[in-house]
Chains A and B, each alone.
Chain A
Amino acid sequence: MSELEDFRASVRSWLEENAPKSIRGKVRDPALAYWGGRKTPLPFPEAKVWLDMMAEKGWTVPFWPKEYGGGGLNKEENKIFNQEMARLELPPPLTGFGITMIGPTVLQYGTEEQKKKYIGEIVRGEVRWCQGYSEPNAGSDLANIQTKAVVDGDDYILNGQKIWTSYGDLADWMFLLVRTDPGVKKQVGITFLLLDMETKGVEVRPIKLISGNSPFCEVFFEDVRVPQKNVLNRVNGGWEVAKALLGHERTMIANAFGGRVAPEKAENPMEAAARKYIGFRDGKIADSVIRDRMAQNQMDESCFLLTVQRNSDNIKAGHRPGPETSIFKVYGTELNQRRMELMLSILGPECLGWEGEGFEQGELDLCRVWLRSRGNTLEGGTSEIQLNIIAKQVLGLPDK
C-alpha cells in the first residue's frame, strides 16, 4: 500500500511541477487534443513541450510496456496516474488512432522489430496514423475490399482506392486491409498492411461534406511499393487482425464515454439555450413540448451513461464485459443525433445560419455540428450493422 502511496506522491509532485499552467482545468476541451505526427498543427503553444516531457516518462500511454517506450504502469498505478491527471484536470498529452487502435494491435500481433519501431513512434507522438478500411464497394460489407496487393520481390505492389479515411490528409502512416488472394472466400484473402503515406503513388483527396468541412479523405494507390515486412500477422491473416482491432476500438470508445461521467455543470448547454431562445413562464420552459423532449433526452443520456458506468464497474469488479457493451455505438450515436435535432428545435430559425453577418458564432457552429452528427450512425459501422451484430451475437438470432 505504501509503495502505491509513494507512487502517487511522486506523480503528483512531478505533474504539479511540470504541467503547463495554461492547460490545467481544461481536461474536457476537445480543442486541446493533440494528435501528434508531422502534419498536425499544435493545438496550443506548449503542446509539443508537454508531449515530449510526458513521452520521456512513457506517460503518453502509461499502461504500455516499458521496453517499447510505454510507462509500464500496472492497473493500480495507472488508476492512480489517471486520478492525479484528473486532480489537475489535465488533458492527455496525446490522442489518436495510434494509441487507441493500431498500437494495441501491434502489441498483440507485431514482431519484435515491429513493436520496437511502431510502438516507440506512437508513444513519442512522432507518427499520426489513419485507418484504411472502407472502399467504394466495401462499406458495411467490409470484407468485400478490392485494393490489390501483388508480390514483387521483397515488396507488395498496391493498386486500388480507400474512402472515408478520417484525417487521411494529416496522417503519416496508414494501417489498411488489402486483398492478397482473390481466389478464396472473401474474408480469407485479406492481409493487414502498414503503409508510409509518403510512399510514391499514394494520393490523398479530402472529401467535402454537407457540413462544409472535410474530415474524411479518399486515398488512391497507383503501383505503390510496400515492403513485405510491413505485414502485420501472417499473409492472408488480415481479417483476424481487423476484428481484434475493432475490439480495441470498442473498448476505447467505451472508456471514452466512461470518461464523460462527470459532475454536471450548474446549467447544461441545452438548458441555457432553452432559456435564451425560448424563455421561461412560471418557472418552466415556455414551450411545453420542447420541455418534454428535453426531459426525455436528458433521461436517455442519463440511462446511457449509467449503462456505460455499469459496464466499467463490472469490469473493475473482475467480471467479463457484459452484453450491454454492444449497445454503446448504436445507442450513443443515435442519442447524440437526437440531442442535435432537439438543439435545432430550440434555436428555431437562428439555427439556419451558414456563415456571415446576422448570426452568432454558436448558431453557425450548431448548424455545422448537427450536419456532421448525421454521419455518426454511418461511420465505424452503421446502426443497421450494429443492430445485426446485437441480434446475432447477443440475442442468438440466426442468419438463416
Chain B
Amino acid sequence: MELVLNEEQTMLDQTAKNFIKDNSPITRVRKLRDDGDPLGYSKEMWKKMAELGWTSILFSEEDGGMGLGMAEVVLVTEAMGRGLAPEPFLGTVMLAGQALSIGGSPELREQWLGPIIEGEKALAMAYQEKGGRYDITRIKTSAKKTTNNYLLIGEKTQVLDGFGADAIIVSARTSGEDGEAEGITLFLIPAGTPGMTVTRQWRLDSRNVALVQLKDVEVPESNIVGTVGKGGQLLSQVIDQATVALCGEMLGGMSAAFDRTLGYLKERVQFDVVIGTFQALKHRAAKMFMEIELARSVVMAAARTLDGNDANKEILVSTAKARCSDAYILVTNEAVQMLGGIGMTDEEDTGFYMKRARAAEMTFGDATYHKDRFAALKGY
C-alpha cells in the first residue's frame, strides 16, 4: 500500500476539485435549501458528474464502468465534500449501485447499472429503522413468502437519496430474530410499486432523505439482490465501502471549513491586529490542522485496504470513520467559535458545514460505535 497519488489520481483530484469550485459553490446548496427543493439536488448536475465519469469509477468494465477503486472514489467525494454537493452519490452509486454490482442477478444489473452509470436514474438503499441506531441487523421490516412473491411490511427512516429515487433496495427479515445477522434479505422495489410510500424527511443538513413505508408491498423473487437470508453480509460489505466514500466527503468538508476559518483569522482585526496573531487561536488552528492531516492519511489508507481486500480493512474503515467524525466536528465547532457571532448567523456558510458534520457523523456509525467495533475486531 502506498499513500501517495499516482499521475492519473492527481489529475482526477485536480479535475474534481476544479469542477466543484466552478460549479458547486455553497450558494447552490443554500438555494436548494431555501427553495425547499424536494429532491435536494440537481438532476442536471448529477448528469454532468456522470459525464465526468464519477459514477462509473467503481463499477467493473463488464458492467460499463471503469473498474477503478476506492482510492479514486475518495478523491471525488472529497471534492464534493468541499462544496457540500448534495448529489446522490452515496445512495445511488455506493449503496444501491454497489449492492447490485456485487449481488445483483445479470438481469437486475443489466436493467439498472447502465442508467446509474449514465446518471439517468437515482437509486437508494433503505436499511435504517427507528431505534436501530447503527445496527443494521435490528430491523422489524418483514418479508413473507407467498406463492410467487414476497410480501413486505415495515418502515425505514432517513433513507439516503430516497425521495424521488427510481428504485429503492429494502432490507427485510425473511427469517431469524431482531438483531441476528442471518435471515436478512435485500429486495429491489421500483418507485410506484403499490403499497410503498416515500415521504421526504427534513434534517438539519437539508439533504435528500426519506421515510419509506411499506404496506403489503408485493415483490417478485427475481428482485432479490444477493442471496435470501444473506443480505446482512452483503449490506455490511457495501456499507463499509460507502463509509469510506463518506469519509472522503467529510475530509473535503473539514478542509473547506478550516480554510474558511484560517482566512478569517488572517483578516479579522481586533485590538488593532488580525486575530490570527493571538497564540490562543494559533495553537487551536495548528491542532485542527494536525487532525485534518491524520484524517487524510487514514482515509487514503482505508480506501487502499478495501481495494486490496486486505485482512485489516474493517479495522481501518472504523479508524477512518471515527477519526473523520471527531475531526469534522472539532473543526466546525472551532470554526463557529473563531468566527464569533458571524459563525452563528445563517448568512455565513460555516453553519452548513457544522450541520453536515453532525449528519455525516451519525451516518454509518459515529465515533463511539466505530471504537467499539475496532476493539471487537482487535479481540478486546
Whether B289 and A285, one on each chain, are in contact in the complex, defined by CB atoms closer than 8 angstroms, is no
Q: How far is the CB of B328 from chain A (nearest CB, A)?
A: 14
Known: A303-B297, A388-B279. A327 touches B266 (CB 8 A): no
Cβ–Cβ < 8 Å partners of A384 in chain B: 283
Q: How far is the CA of A346 from the CA of B36 in the complex (A)?
A: 52
Determine the residue in chain B with the shortest Cβ distance to A400: B277
Q: How far is the CB of A386 from chain B (nearest CB, A)?
A: 8
Whether B297 and A394, one on each chain, are in contact in the complex, defined by CB atoms closer than 8 angstroms, is no
Cβ–Cβ < 8 Å partners of B372 in chain A: 292, 295
Cβ–Cβ < 8 Å partners of A392 in chain B: 282
Whether A292 and B289, one on each chain, are in contact in the complex, defined by CB atoms closer than 8 angstroms, is no
Number of A-B residue pairs having CB atoms within 8 Å of each other in the complex: 128
| B273 interface neighbour in A274, A310, A323, A400, Cβ under 8 Å | A400
| B294 interface neighbour in A285, A298, A323, A331, Cβ under 8 Å | A331
B365-380 interface mask toward A, CB cutoff 8 Å, 1 = contact, 0 = none? 0001001101110111
Does any Cβ of B come within 8 Å of A214's Cβ?
Answer: no
Whether A296 and B274, one on each chain, are in contact in the complex, defined by CB atoms closer than 8 angstroms, is no
Whether A330 and B300, one on each chain, are in contact in the complex, defined by CB atoms closer than 8 angstroms, is no
Known: A303-B295, A331-B294. A271 touches B4 (CB 8 A): no
Does any Cβ of A come within 8 Å of B319's Cβ?
Answer: yes
Does any Cβ of B come within 8 Å of A352's Cβ?
Answer: no
Does any Cβ of B come within 8 Å of A307's Cβ?
Answer: yes
Most chain A beta carbons < 10 A, residue from B2, B4, B277, B281: B4
Whether B300 and A310, one on each chain, are in contact in the complex, defined by CB atoms closer than 8 angstroms, is yes
B291-322 interface mask toward A, CB cutoff 8 Å, 1 = contact, 0 = none? 00111111011000000000000001011001
Whether A299 and B265, one on each chain, are in contact in the complex, defined by CB atoms closer than 8 angstroms, is no
Cβ–Cβ < 8 Å partners of A285 in chain B: 375, 380
Does any Cβ of A come within 8 Å of B26's Cβ?
Answer: no
Determine the residue in chain B with the shortest Cβ distance to A264: B312
Cβ–Cβ < 8 Å partners of B84 in chain A: none
Known: A302-B319, A387-B283, A391-B283. A292 touches B368 (CB 8 A): yes
The number of residues on chain B lying at the interface, defined by a beta carbon within 8 Å of a beta carbon of chain A, is: 41
Q: How far is the CB of B281 from chain A (nearest CB, A)?
A: 8
Whether B380 and A303, one on each chain, are in contact in the complex, defined by CB atoms closer than 8 angstroms, is no
Determine the residue in chain A with the shortest Cβ distance to B301: A306
Q: How far is the CA of A274 from the CA of B379 in the complex (A)?
A: 12
Does any Cβ of A come within 8 Å of B286's Cβ?
Answer: yes
Whether B4 and A317, one on each chain, are in contact in the complex, defined by CB atoms closer than 8 angstroms, is yes
Whether A391 and B282, one on each chain, are in contact in the complex, defined by CB atoms closer than 8 angstroms, is yes
| B266 interface neighbour in A274, A291, A398, Cβ under 8 Å | A398
Q: How far is the CA of A284 from the CA of B372 in the complex (A)?
A: 10
Whether A303 and B289, one on each chain, are in contact in the complex, defined by CB atoms closer than 8 angstroms, is no
Interface residue SS majority, chain A: helix
Segment 243-280 of B: residues with Cβ below 8 Å from A: 262, 265-266, 273-274, 276-277, 279
Cβ–Cβ < 8 Å partners of A216 in chain B: none
Q: How far is the CB of B260 from chain A (nearest CB, A)?
A: 13
Determine the residue in chain A with the shortest Cβ distance to B279: A388
Whether A319 and B380, one on each chain, are in contact in the complex, defined by CB atoms closer than 8 angstroms, is no
Cβ–Cβ < 8 Å partners of A294 in chain B: 375, 380
Cβ–Cβ < 8 Å partners of B301 in chain A: 306
Q: How far is the CB of A300 from chain B (nearest CB, A)?
A: 8
Q: How far is the CA of A304 from the CA of B4 in the complex (A)?
A: 16
Does any Cβ of B come within 8 Å of A277's Cβ?
Answer: no
Name the interface size band of chain A: 35 or more
Q: How far is the CA of A384 from the CA of B281 in the complex (A)?
A: 12
| B276 interface neighbour in A304, A306, A398, Cβ under 8 Å | A398
Whether A274 and B319, one on each chain, are in contact in the complex, defined by CB atoms closer than 8 angstroms, is no
Cβ–Cβ < 8 Å partners of B279 in chain A: 388
Whether B297 and A295, one on each chain, are in contact in the complex, defined by CB atoms closer than 8 angstroms, is no
Does any Cβ of A come within 8 Å of B215's Cβ?
Answer: no
Cβ–Cβ < 8 Å partners of A67 in chain B: none
Segment 306-329 of A: residues with Cβ below 8 Å from B: 306-307, 309-310, 313-314, 316-317, 319, 323-324, 327
Whether B371 and A397, one on each chain, are in contact in the complex, defined by CB atoms closer than 8 angstroms, is no
Whether B293 and A306, one on each chain, are in contact in the complex, defined by CB atoms closer than 8 angstroms, is no
Most chain B beta carbons < 10 A, residue from A294, A302, A317: A302
Does any Cβ of A come within 8 Å of B11's Cβ?
Answer: no
Cβ–Cβ < 8 Å partners of A291 in chain B: 375, 380
Does any Cβ of B come within 8 Å of A396's Cβ?
Answer: yes
Does any Cβ of A come within 8 Å of B287's Cβ?
Answer: yes
Known: A330-B290, A387-B286. A296 touches B378 (CB 8 A): no
Q: How far is the CA of A275 from the CA of B2 in the complex (A)?
A: 34
| B371 interface neighbour in A299, A323, A327, Cβ under 8 Å | A299
- 16 more A-B residue pairs beyond the given contacts A275-B380, A304-B294, A314-B3, with a C-beta to C-beta distance below 8 A: A280-B380, A292-B372, A295-B372, A296-B322, A302-B319, A307-B296, A309-B3, A310-B4, A316-B4, A317-B4, A323-B293, A324-B296, A387-B287, A390-B290, A391-B282, A395-B262
A-B contact pairs, 20 of them (CB 8 A): A275-B380, A291-B380, A292-B372, A294-B375, A295-B374, A295-B378, A299-B322, A302-B316, A303-B323, A307-B296, A307-B297, A310-B4, A314-B3, A324-B293, A330-B286, A387-B287, A395-B285, A396-B266, A397-B277, A398-B266
When A and B form their complex, which 7 residue pairs have the shortest distance between CB atoms, in order from nearest? A391-B282, A310-B3, A390-B286, A306-B297, A303-B294, A295-B371, A307-B297
